[in-house]
Structure 1
Amino acid sequence: MKNCSNFTNDVVYSIIISFISVSCIYGQIPVENDTIEDIEDFDIIDMESTLVEEKKDSISWVSDVFSAMRLGIQYGFTYKAEKPDKIMNNRFSFRLEYSKSFLEYLSVHIDTKMFTFLKNDHRIRDEEDIVALEGRTREAYLQTSFNKTSIKAGIQIVVWGESDYAIVTNEIGRLDYREPLSLNMDDLRIGQPMLTIDQYSSFGYWSAFFVPYSEFNEQPRKGTGYYYDPFDGKVEYLKEKQKGNFSEYGLRWRKTFGKSDISIMAASLIDNQYALRMVNPDLITKSKQRFFMTGVTFNRAINNLLVKGEVAIKSEKAYNDASFQIVKKNALDASLGVDYSPNSTFTLSIEAVNYHIMDWSDQIQGIPRNNYIALLALSKQLMKNNLSLSWASMYNGPYTNFFNVLSASYNWNDHITLNFDALIPIVDDARSGFYPYRDQKQVAFRVLYQL
C-alpha cells in the first residue's frame, strides 16, 4: 500500500511539473532584459523545490504517525494434559499500542487488544460456533503536562503496590479472572475510566485519582472452561438495585531517600468483588460495598538485594456468615519480599503475604482468620538475553495448595518471540480457592509477531 501511494504521488508530481514547464514556455510574457530560458529555469526550480518539500513533509507526517504505533499479532495454544484432556486455548490476539505527543504539552496513549477465539477455545460458550470475537482496552487516555504537574483522563491502570504477585495496597484496579491460572499481574489487570493527577515537588511525589463509576473484576462466564458454580445452577444471581455514590478516590505521597523510597496512601474504594447475600434458597443478590484503605509501602536497595514490603488496613470489608448474609470486618494485609540479583542475568525472588481478618469469629464462612502465601521465583537470561527461563512456585494456606509455573521465552529475531509455559496446580483441600482448578495441569505455547 505504501508503494502504491508513493507511485501515485510520483505520477501526480510528474504531471504537475510537466504542466508548469509548458506554462512557463507558452503562458508567460518575458520582461525586458530577461530571456525565456532564465524565467523557465527560475520558475521550474522554485516550484520543484516547493513540491519536493511538500512531498517530504507528507512522507514525514505518515512516518511520524506509524513510528508512534506498535502492532503485535499473537497465536496462543493451551492443552490440558490431565484427564479429561482437552484444548483450553486456541486463539489469535491483535494488539495495538499507540503513543503520540501533540502541541508539546498534550499526548495520547492507547493500548488495546482484539481476541479471535477459534474452535475448542474455552471462551467460546456455544459449541456450535467456530469463532468468537472480543475486545479489551487496557489503556486509552489523554495526558497533559505543564511545569511539574501531569493530568490524565481516560481508561487507565493505577498501580500503587510493591508486590509483583499479591494484592495488598494495590486495590484500585480490577482484574480479569476469566484466565485464572496466571501469576502475571500485568496480564490480569484491566483499565477503567478515571482521572489522575501527578504532582512532583521537592517534598515528594503526589498522586491522586478519581473514578466516577466503579467497575468490577471479570469472572469466568457460564459455558466457558473455567466457570464454577458452587450451587450447581440451582441458585439465580441478581444485581441488587442500589442508590448512592459509587465513585472512588484516593491520594498517595511518595518520597525517595537515596536507594530507598516510602509511600503513604489513603483511598475510599468500592470492592472489586460484588458482595453476595442470599435472599432465599433460590436467589442470591450481588451488591457494591464501599471500604476505606490506608497503607504504607517501602523498598530498600542493599548491594545486590532489593527489600520491599507493604501493609494496609481495610475497614468495613464484606464477608459472609453461615446463613450467607453480609458481615463487615476490618482487615490487615501485609507482604514482605526480597529480590536477589548477583548479576544482570539471574534473579531470585522470595515473598511472604498474609491476609488477616480482624475480630474474626466462627460466623465467617469460607475464609480463615489468616490466609497466607509463600512464593519462590527464579529467572535466568541466556544466549545474550535472547532466552529467558523462569520458575515460580506458590504455596497457599491454611487450605493447602501449591501452584507451579515453568516458563521459557525465546527471541527468535527482532520481530518474533516464542513462549512456552507449563502450569501445575496441586490441590487436595476442597476449601481451597484453587480447588475448582485441581485438574488443570496444562502446557501452553504462544508465538508473538511484532511490527
Structure 2
Amino acid sequence: MPNLLRCDLRLIVPLCLTAVSPLIARAETLAPEPEPSPSSNTDHAVPDFSMVDATAEESTTESSIGGQPTSPLRVTLAHEVSYKVEKPQYVVKNRSSLRVEYSKYVLDNFYVQLDGKATGFWGEDHRQDAEGEDFLVSQAYLQTSFGHTAIRAGFQSLPWGESILAPITDEVSPRDNRELFNFNLEELRIGQPMLVVDQFSGWGSVSMFFNPRASFNKSPERGTAYSFDRFRYRSEVGGETDLSEYGASWRKTFTRGDITFMTASLVDNDYALSMNENGTVSRERARFSMNGFSFNYAFSDFVLRGEAAWKQDLPFNTAELQVVKRDAVDAYLGLEYQASATLTLSVEAINQHVSDWTSEVASAPRDSQSLLVSMTKLLMHEDLNIQVMNFYTQPGNSNLAILQTTYDWNDNLRFGFNVVYPYTRDEKAGLWNVRDQKQVAFKVQYQF
C-alpha cells in the first residue's frame, strides 16, 4: 500500500505545482500602498461611483491612451511547445490557445468582467488523445457599488494570501493541476459561482463571500504525461452533502504595508480517498475550517511578507488508505530585496505542520519545509525579463531549478523560453515520478 500512496496524484503533482505555478503571475511593488478607499481595494473591487465619477473609466481596460479610449476587449493568441530533453525524449506540449477578456462599465454603476480561454491540442501534445480540446471560463461576473459597498456576483475566483510556494490561506479557489509546469497562478485558479460583498471604510475593508456549491481541483486525465493515478474509483462521491462555502476577511492598509485576517468554512479542494474491500477507492467530500492572517511590510529596499493558517479537520490517509482527520498549522515568510531598478532578489520559506501527528498518518510527515530562492533581471530597456529560481523541499530532498525568460518584441508580440530541471534521488520525494521531466519550452503570444 505505501507504493500506492506514492502514486496517488494528490501527493505528487501539487507539491511541485503549487511551488512554481504563480512565479510569473505576481509583480509586487516596493511602493507603500495608500489607505483603502472605494477606488483602492481588492483585485476585483469596483470604485464608488459617487466619489470617483471622473476617473472610473481609467481604472479599467477602457482607460485612455494619448486621449483615445482603448477597447474593453482584449484577445490573446498563443502557441507553445515543450520538449523533454532527457531520454526517452519526446514532445510534451504542442498547443494553440485563444483567450478573450472583456471588462466594461455599463449603466453608470455596473461593471462586467469576462475571461475565457479555449485550447486546442495538436498531434504530439500529451493531452491530445485524452482531451483533444479544453474550454475554461475563469471569470464571468457582474459587479456594482453604492456608497462604500461593492457587490460582485457570478463566476469568479478569489485569491487569498501571500505565498507563492503553497496554498497557506489561498484555499478558496480550486486549481487546475492537469499541467505540472504551468507557472501562471491566474490560469490555475478555477472559477466558481460566488457572491462577494466588499465594504470599505477608514478602519479597513471587509470582504465576505458565499459559494453555494464548491468545485474541486482538476487532475490529469489517464494517459497524459502526469497521470500517475492507478486507482479504480467508485462512480459515486460520498462524504459532505452540504457543498456551500463561506468566509470573510478584514484588511487594513498602513503607510508601509498591510495586514489581513481571514476565516472560512470550506470544502477541501481535493477529495479524501478511502480504500474499499473490493480494491476500489471511494472519493469523499470533506469540510474543514480555516483561520489565518497575512501581511506585507516595506522598509528601505526590502519587502517582508508572511502568512499563517490554522486548518481544522483536514483529511489525511493511513497506510491502508483510510481517512483520518487532523488539524494543521501552515506558516510562510518571504523577503524581497530590490537591489536596483532592474534586479530583484528574494527568498521565501514555508513550514507545514500536522498537529497531533502519529505514525498512523502515512500521507504526510509531521513537518515539511520548502525554500525558494529567486533572482529577476530586466535587460534591453526592460523588454527582456530573465528569472532564475530554485525550489527545495524536504523531507524528500527534492530540487526544482527553473530558468524562464520573456522578450517583448513590441506592445503586442511576446516570446518566451523556459527550462525546468527537477532533481531527486529519494523515492519518497514528491518529484520522484517526474524526476526525468527535464524540459525546454517555447511560447509565442500575440495580444490585441
Looking at structure 1, the residues matched to 168 and 437 of structure 2 have their Cα atoms a distance apart, in angstroms, of: 27
Give 2:51's aligned residue: none
- Answering whether residue 421 of structure 2 is matched by residue 424 of structure 1, we say yes
Structure 2: how far apart are the matches of 1:93 and 1:210?
A: 32
> For the structure 1 residues 171 and 394, does the alpha-carbon distance in structure 2 shift closer, same or farther, using more than 3 Å as the test?
same
- Preserved contact between residue 366 and residue 431 of structure 1 (Cα < 8 Å): no
Residue in 2 aligned with 1:271?
A: 268
Which amino acid is 2:148 matched to? K
Post-superposition offset of 1:281: 4.6
RCO comparison, higher one (Cα < 8 Å, 6+):
2
Q: Hey, what's the Cα distance between the residues in 2 that align with 1:133 and 1:221?
A: 13
Give the SS at the match of 1:165.
coil
Pick from 242, 253, 258 the counterpart of residue 256 of structure 1.
253
Deviation of 1:184 after TM superposition, in Å, equals 3.6
Larger gyration radius, structure 1 or structure 2: 1
Distance 1:202 1:333 in 2: 31
Aligned to 1:396: 393
Alignment-derived partner of residue 150 in structure 2: 150
Provide, for residues 237-289 of structure 1, a one-character-per-residue CA deviation record: whole Å limited to 9, x for no partner. 44434563110000000101210211111000000000001112521100100
Q: 1:236 & 1:245 partners in 2: Cα distance?
A: 22
Separation in structure 2 between the aligned mates of residue 92 and residue 243 of structure 1, nearest angstrom: 38
Match of 1:176 in 2: 176
1:121-200 pair list within 5 angstroms: 121-125=125-129, 132-200=132-200
Instruction: Assess if the C-alpha contact under 8 Å between 2:319 and 2:363 holds in 1.
Output: no
Counterpart residue identity of residue 202, structure 1: G
Q: Is the 8 A contact 1:168 1:335 kept in 2?
A: yes
Question: Is the 8 Å Cα contact of residues 77 and 89 (structure 1) preserved in structure 2?
Answer: yes
Task: Decide whether the 8 Å contact of 2:404 with 2:417 is kept in 1.
Answer: yes
Partner residue in 1 for 2:308? 311
Superposed, 1:170-249 pairs within 5 Å as: 170-229=170-229, 232=230, 235-242=232-239, 244-249=241-246
- Asked whether the equivalents of residues 165 and 183 of structure 1 are also in contact (C-alpha less than 8 Å), the reply is no
**Over the residues paired in the alignment, what is the CA RMSD in angstroms?**
1.6
- The amino acid of 1:147's aligned partner reads G
Partner in structure 2 of residue 118 of structure 1: 122
Distance 1:389 1:83 in 2: 27
Give 5+ residue unaligned stretches, structure 2. 1-67
Q: Over residues 100-134 of structure 1, what are the superposed CA-to-partner deviations in whole Å (9 max), with x where a residue is unaligned?
A: 111111011011100011001011135xxxx9221
Q: Specify the alignment match of 1:28 in structure 2.
A: none
1:366 shift after superposition: 2.7
**2:157 aligned partner, one-letter code:** I
The aligned amino acid for 1:151 is: I
Corresponding residue of 1:67 = 71
- Asked if the contact 2:141–2:155 (Cα under 8 Å) also holds between the matched residues in 1, the reply is yes
Aligned residue type for 1:225: A
1:67-106, CA deviations, whole angstroms, 9 ceiling, x for partnerless residues?
1100110000000111111101000000101001111110
Deviation at 1:398, TM superposition (A): 0.7
How far off is 1:236 after superposition? 3.5
How far apart are 1:400 and its partner, in Å?
A: 1.3
Q: How much does 1:66 deviate?
A: 7.8
Once residues 297 and 148 of structure 2 are traced to their aligned partners in structure 1, the CA distance between those partners, rounded to angstroms, is 26
Q: Deviations along 1:344-382, whole A, 9 cap, x unmatched?
A: 211111100011000100001131111110001111111
Cα distance in 1 for partners of 2:310, 2:283 equals 24
Q: Does the 8 A contact of 2:240 with 2:287 survive in 1?
A: no
The counterpart of 2:365, out of the listed 364, 368, 376, is 368
CA distance in structure 2 between the aligned counterparts of 1:366 and 1:133, rounded to whole angstroms = 33
Question: 8 Å contact 2:233–2:283 — kept in the other structure?
Answer: no
Please identify which structure carries the higher helix content.
Answer: 1
**SS state of the match for residue 357, structure 2?**
coil
Q: For residues 243 and 191 of structure 2, what CA distance do their matches in structure 1 show?
A: 17
Helix, strand or coil at the partner of 1:240: strand
Structure 1 distance, partners of 2:193, 2:106, is 22
Distance 2:259 2:70 in 1: 39
Which residue of the other structure, out of 104, 107, 127, is the alignment partner of 1:103? 107
Indicate yes or no: 2:97 matched with 1:93.
Answer: yes
Contact 2:240 2:284 in 1 (8 A): no
For 1:30, the equivalent position in structure 2 comes to none
Question: Structure 2: how far apart are the matches of 1:78 and 1:99?
Answer: 32
- Contact 2:239-2:286 at 8 Å conserved across structures: no
Give the AA of the match of 1:84: P
Name the SS of the counterpart of 1:343 in structure 2: coil
Shift in Å, 1:186: 2.6
Count of aligned pairs: 381
Specify the code of the residue in structure 1 equivalent to 2:127. R
Give TM-score, length-normalised by structure 1. Answer: 0.82
CA distance in structure 1 between the aligned counterparts of 2:108 and 2:166, rounded to whole angstroms: 38
Contact preservation (8 Å) 1:165, 1:185: no
Q: CA deviation at 1:159?
A: 1.1
In structure 2, C-alpha distance between the alignment counterparts of 1:186 and 1:321, rounded to whole Å = 34
Question: Residue type of the partner of 2:172?
Answer: I
Equivalent position of 1:382 in the other structure = 379
Partner of 1:413: 410
CA distance in 2, matches of 1:81, 1:243: 44
CA contact (8 A) 1:165 1:184 kept: no
SS at match of 2:433: helix
Query: 1:142: how far off?
Result: 0.6
Contact kept in structure 2, 1:238 and 1:284, CA below 8 Å: no
Q: Write the distance in 1 (CA, Å) between the matches of 2:187 and 2:314.
A: 26
Q: What is the 5 A alignment of 1:294-305?
A: 294-305=291-302
2: CA distance, partners of 1:179 / 1:402: 18
Query: Mind listing any 5+ residue stretches in structure 1 that lack a counterpart?
Result: 1-63
Match of 1:80 in 2: 84
Q: Which amino acid in structure 1 is aligned with residue 237 of structure 2?
A: E
CA–CA distance in structure 1, aligned partners of residues 270 and 238 of structure 2 = 16
